[in-house]
Structure 1
Amino acid sequence: MSSSIVNNNIASQDMDHHDHSSLMPHHKRLVCFVEGNIGSGKSSTSRELQLFNENCVSEQQRTDEWTLLSKYYEVGIHKKDIKLNYELQKQIANTYFKHYFKYNFQPLTSTSSLKSRESSFTTVNDLFEKEQLEAIMKKFNNLVKLHPNSKIMSQMSDSFDVNRYELDENVTTPPITCSDTFNIFFEGILSSSGVFTVMEYNKGMIAEEDYLDLCENYDALKRGVTGHMAFYLKPKNNIDICHERIKARKREFEGGIEKSYLKLIEEHYDSFMEIVATKIPVFVIDNSTLDAKQTAALILDIINAVKKDIKYM
């Protein structure tokens, strides 16, 4: 695959969309995305987050629409190299992500005063309370790490030091206030075009003209209204654990998924995050030893470290 095609696809992914019957677009709503492999624990973590904090609204694709994926898997994407049905691809995209239509998530700017829509990146220190985040990183030292491509600061003298602060294990951060509402999206258009569509093109499963048309289709889905894309959380599990979880939950259309397919997805996620991390902070979470409740608590700890006085455009 030519680098120009990959870069054009990724570059178009600075925006994402959403619709939820209980929510209206809100210009002061921050958004984080939880992206990870099949079986990495996204669904169970999403359910736990609904219980933890009413101000953190977690969203995932509607499970009653997952039947489309059974057709997708039946053609053998995870079994062998064959041509995919292009019209089915578009049907999946337009159905799977129709609930994103009303939301357009712009990246924050690279200063604390969020004045411009044209910023090139957001740093950790733009978004988070430094000492609070350092304490969280210290507490979960072996479980959560900042992606090496994520920018710590723009022009600041103080460095981010993960080892500087100790944290009492019994201390919990207070819930965020109503004015600091977050939407948490589990998977989205960004990864569907930046991971899966790229993967299919790399394997020769879709033609170049169809690939480019799919990218345009995803871009059309991403046009909406308001919101600020804040950061990514990337649960990372070893392939064996993901595969065991897939088998244990017994979703009929996932029955034939093989470890080699999961490995391929993980490789494309790694490439995708290499680019995303240059735009907004990406936290990589090792949740191989965490259950859903612990993962949800960790996500909320990170959210609670976001600055409360961010100025929006």
Structure 2
Amino acid sequence: MSPWLEVVLRAASVLAAFLVLPLVVGQTEHKVMAHMQGRLGPMYAGGFHGWAQLVADGVKFVQKEDITPARADRGVFRLAPAVALIPYLVALAVIPLSPTVVGADVEASAVLVLAAMGVGIIGTLMAGWSSANKYSLLGAMRSAAQLVSYELPMVLAVASVALAAGSLSLVGIAEAWNPWWLLWQFPGAFVFLVAALAELQRPPFDMPVADSEIVFGSYTEYSGLRFAFFLLAEYAGIVVMSLLFAVLYLGGWAGPFESGLGWLWTLLKGFAVAVVVIWLRVSWPRLREDQLQRLAWVWLVPIALLQLAITAVGVVMTR
């Protein structure tokens, strides 16, 4: 196979996964929330248990009018959804499902994923600033404060795993994983999961899009396909965070399958983490802004620093 053809096939595979996996997570959220709340949920679109509901929603969004407010900064307003969505595509391209099933095997891929996800929040800031809406601007400011608070504990948690594995490559980290990490790195895993929820602005950390307070935050003025892109970015973020958690803390493709099916094991672990994310949305009420900041700086940062110190001592003692 020629190198150019291989690149094209890898790019097409990543794009297909980027379009399909968020839809699977979205449909799962519909059904899991319905069962947890004792209701049926969408049942008719597509026949069996309403499997095509998200397809119907997508068609609905395409048909809606794309409106730009008269006083908005039109260029920034229209570009914001793409800026929010594309970083997750970049991150997904370097997360390995197995040593051979990866869009781009990049050195220091753990750093690249964190950097890409940090860029995604700029799309939310652009949307809030350019909308010429006070609710949108307030949502954007909340998003910025949330990013500053929770990016640090997430980076510290990943640094602990990378130190334990002796590698910044996600492939290297997954290959260095062993079952003892479930105990040794558990505090870091907890910090990472909480920080990931906050980065994704998922309940109970959905203050930037709190509909009962600020309409829909940065996305208030958006409609049609551009609004759908922001929703797709949210589900794509869940996919990226879930797969990253599976690779860092659950061993990725390590499991009772032969090596050729290891990618399936990674997907199953990531899907289980995504279900936990959905369960937390149903189960926990929204925090206040002061509670959000207190959780990050009083609890998560010290726990992440303690985890990093314990990992450093453990690595030094075992070498």
What TM-score, normalized by structure 1, do the two folds share?
Answer: 0.27
What TM-score, normalized by structure 2, do the two folds share?
Answer: 0.26
Structure possessing the higher relative contact order (Cα contacts under 8 Å, 6 or more residues apart): 1
Choose between structure 1 and 2: higher helix proportion: 2
Choose between structure 1 and 2: higher strand proportion: 1
